[in-house]
Structure 1
Amino acid sequence: MSDLHEWTPQLIQDEIDALKDKPGALLPILHAIQDRVGFIPDQAVPLIASSLGQTRAEIHGVISFYHHFRTSPPGSHVVRICRAEACQSMGARALEAHARASLAIDYHQTTGDREITLEAVYCLGNCACAPSVSVDDRVLGRVTPERFDRLVDDLRTQPLEVK
């Protein structure tokens, strides 16, 4: 994660310029910025609005509508818990309650040590192994509260990979 979170207005503008002429460019631009920086900085909103001929309110409305987009940097690790029906039927609600309590945060929040951001997702495509979570884009199945605690402990003790 060496470059993640480091951004400049020029970097943001470069991402916008690369995609602004495509039909329906807003979502691809937002995804590109978040993929590159890790979140959508507030300062990106006026740049996007100006480049697309839209208002800041329109851009902000899209960012706030989709839970996928973050407006602040995530923790060192992003943990997503599947909330789809198959996972719910196999214990995901108890798992998510345990995760929120043990991390002392809710969805779309980051732990005080900036290590873990907790997010909800509505299908990881791992239904046969429910309940499922993803940890930094690695999908794991049959996650119990006890396994969740071990995963969190491992995340907090392992060094970050440099990407």
Structure 2
Amino acid sequence: MQEHIESLIQQHRDQAGGLMPLLHAIQDALGYVPAESVAPIAKGFNLSRAEVHGVISYYHYFRSTPPGRTVVQVCRAESCKACGSDDLMSEIEKWLGVKAHETRADGAVSLEPVYCLGLCAQSPAIQINERVFARVTTARFANPVGWCGG
């Protein structure tokens, strides 16, 4: 894994603004940005570890731990909140047995709040892995356990 990360650092280090593309490349390859990659990234980009960690922790897209086999994302942006995503998130937490920002102990599912899936006119929206669902209600989307490796 470290060799792969070093290779990606070499590919992006001379690119203007290369830190973000590097972090995306690492997460695309591994599913997350491992904590042990922060020091080599900082060294490769002549940044402090705090600067690299700050970027990783600032953007909700980046994970610092491996995700569950299924990732459920519930939109928490204004339009979705106005159309019921708070209640939806509460129900999904109960159905899946996991809280927002967590991965279930068996590794089957991670639940993540996200801030805009781009379906504001069709709120509320969720995404399960790469599949997006619009106008989701607790009644319409009754119990996603079967969809999410439950």
Distance 2:12 2:32 in 1: 18
8 Å contact from structure 1 (residues 99, 148) kept in 2: no
SS in 2 for 1:119: strand
* Counterpart position of 2:59: 66
Aligned structure 1 segments of 4 or more residues deviating by more than 4 angstroms? 146-149
- State the Cα distance separating 1:149 from its structure 2 match: 4.5
Matching residue within 145, 149, 157 for 2:138: 145
Map of 1:131 onto structure 2: 124
Could you say what the CA RMSD is over the residues aligned between the two structures, in angstroms?
Answer: 1.6
2:103 corresponds to which residue? 110
Q: CA separation in 1, counterparts of 2:109 and 2:68?
A: 5
Count of aligned positions: 150
- 1:23-66 Cα offsets, whole Å, 9 max, x none, are 11111111110111000111111110110011112111211222
Q: 2:40 aligns with which of 37, 41, 47?
A: 47
Distance in 2 (alpha carbons) for counterparts of 1:144 and 1:130: 9
Query: Which residue of structure 1 lines up, in the alignment, with residue 30 of structure 2?
Result: 37
Percent of aligned pairs with the same amino acid: 42
More off after superposition, 34-43 vs 60-69: 60-69
Quote the residue 1:120 is aligned against.
Answer: 113
Partners of 2:70 and 2:141 in 1: CA distance: 14
Structure 1: state its 5+ residue gaps: 1-7, 158-163
The TM-score normalised by the length of structure 1 is 0.84
2:34/2:64 contact within 8 Å kept: yes
